[in-house]
Amino acid sequence: MNSDDYARLQSVLCLPYGACPEASWIRKTFPSVKEETWLAIYSQEQQYKVIRSHHLHKANVLPYLERYGQGEDVLALAADVDFPPCMLLRRMLEQLVEGPKQLVTEVLRHPERLDASLCPGLPPDMLARMRVDVVRCVHTDCCYSPLSDVAKQVTGLEYELYLQKRLAEAGLAFWTEAELRAMGFHKTPDCKLKVPVAVRSRGGGEHLVCWVDSKATFGDSRTHVKQVEEQYRTYVNRYGPGMVIYWFGYVADLNTDPHVLLCDDFPHSADIIRITDALTLTPQLQQQQPAAAAAAASMAATPAAASAAAAAPPPPAAAAGAVRSGGLGAVLGVGGRMTVPASPSKMARRVGGMGDVQPGGMAGAGPALLPGVGAAPVAVAAAAAPAPAARANISALLDAGAGGAPSWWACC
């Protein structure tokens, strides 16, 4: 959703408590916005309003309680002061119930527990009226009642299970949050991939994904900034880049962290690039190989070209400990990356059947990523160089995909 549409929808959904959005008008005015999206925005606007005005209502709870004691209806009172009914009743009960605030929560969940033992000195008719009003407020309040809390929790769990189902259908092995906590991890996303993948974004670029987090809400600037500070940044520091799915949509220009990919749905299988996909030669690169090999052979056969090549300084990629790598994009023929350190990645050691890493062989490989495969933006000029071990090539590939930070792969 672009920023202009969100601002218009936000102004429409910022309503007083007790007022409901006109669903038919919203569908006609915003035909591309799903119903669950604008309902999530409406719920968020109500919550933001409580955050801004809660201290004012808490200071006026005694006048509210006096009006209620004089016979004013609790729902009419909540609408008049523009405060959620359950929040209003909770603040009034906190003044009447003798005991910890947990007792008030129990009363909202079980109104029959509101008796003279909790509110000594309160007339019986007042107790009976408050028990009825607790039930009315719980069924009326769509944001702060125990029923709405259960609905939010169930929705969040439902989408977490849906994410696990989509990961399994895509053939991606992962650890769940519960499994990560059992392994001793403190900060845990909803799913941690056992083998990272790359995901094509809507802009066409590839983004490395080591973890996925599910959010059954709408992503606006206020929600996202808080989540970045409390969750996403800690995930990036521990596990590397990842992906966050706001199932109910998000503002288009929301993301400012290049290590976190935002989506509103699980990516299609064609947009998921696995390591095995990166190691498979594309037909385009296969067609480029004979032409590149012929060009290298013709240059070697010409004495003038051979002498010029011998006198030329070595390319930057041949410097000690550096490799010109195209990353996943280069293997797939969609672009290359800057020169990255040729340090072996721990991820490469877990690719089965590979031999020992030869760090010295990486620099001699020049622009070659895989045996017989050159990075798309770099001319193939390593025909005379010894072919490096496949495991070392995969290490360079993963390090390039990780943005030159092999420490991220230590957690894989």
**385 pLDDT more than 60:** no
- The distance of Cα 308 from the centroid of its chain, to the nearest Å, equals 52
Q: Count H helices and E strands in the chain, helices first.
A: 19, 10
Q: Are residues 107 and 118 in contact, defined by beta-carbon separation less than 8 angstroms?
A: yes
Tokens of 132: 């009825």
Bridge partners for 373 per DSSP = 370
**322 pLDDT more than 60:** no
369 or 109: whose pLDDT is higher?
109
Return left, alpha or beta for 249; rule: phi > 0 is left, psi -120 to 50 is alpha, else beta: left
**381 pLDDT more than 90:** no
State how far the Cα of 364 lies from the Cα of 386, in Å rounded to an integer: 7
- pLDDT tens digits for range 186-224: 889 999 999 999 998 877 788 999 999 999 988 888 888
Burial of 164 (0-12, 13-18, 19+ CB in 10 A): middle
Bridge partners for 176 per DSSP = 191
**123 pLDDT more than 80:** yes
Does the pTM of the predicted model rise above 0.85? Answer: no
Please give the single-letter amino acid code of residue 349: R
Q: What is the mean pLDDT of residues 372-379?
A: 35
- pLDDT tens digits for range 18-53: 777 778 888 888 888 888 888 888 888 888 888 888
Please give the single-letter amino acid code of residue 236: V
In three-state secondary structure terms, 241 is coil
* pLDDT in the model for residue 289: 54
For 226-235, the CB contacts below 8 A with 24+ separation are 228/256, 228/257, 228/260, 231/187, 231/189, 232/257, 232/260, 233/257, 234/187, 235/187, 235/189, 235/211
b/e per residue, 120-131, with b = 16+ CB within 10 A? eebeeeeeeebe
Q: How confident is the model at residue 302 (pLDDT cuts 50, 70, 90)?
A: low
Highest mean predicted confidence (pLDDT) among 49-53, 76-80, 254-258, 292-296: 76-80
b/e per residue, 80-114, with b = 16+ CB within 10 A? ebebbbbbbbbbbbeebbeeeeebbebbbeebeeb
**114 pLDDT more than 50:** yes
**378 pLDDT more than 70:** no
Q: Are residues 87 and 68 in contact, defined by beta-carbon separation less than 8 angstroms?
A: no
97 or 341: whose pLDDT is higher?
97
Range in 84-88, 162-166, 352-356, 372-376 with the lowest mean pLDDT: 372-376
Q: What is the mean pLDDT of residues 136-160?
A: 89
Tokens of 179: 């499994």
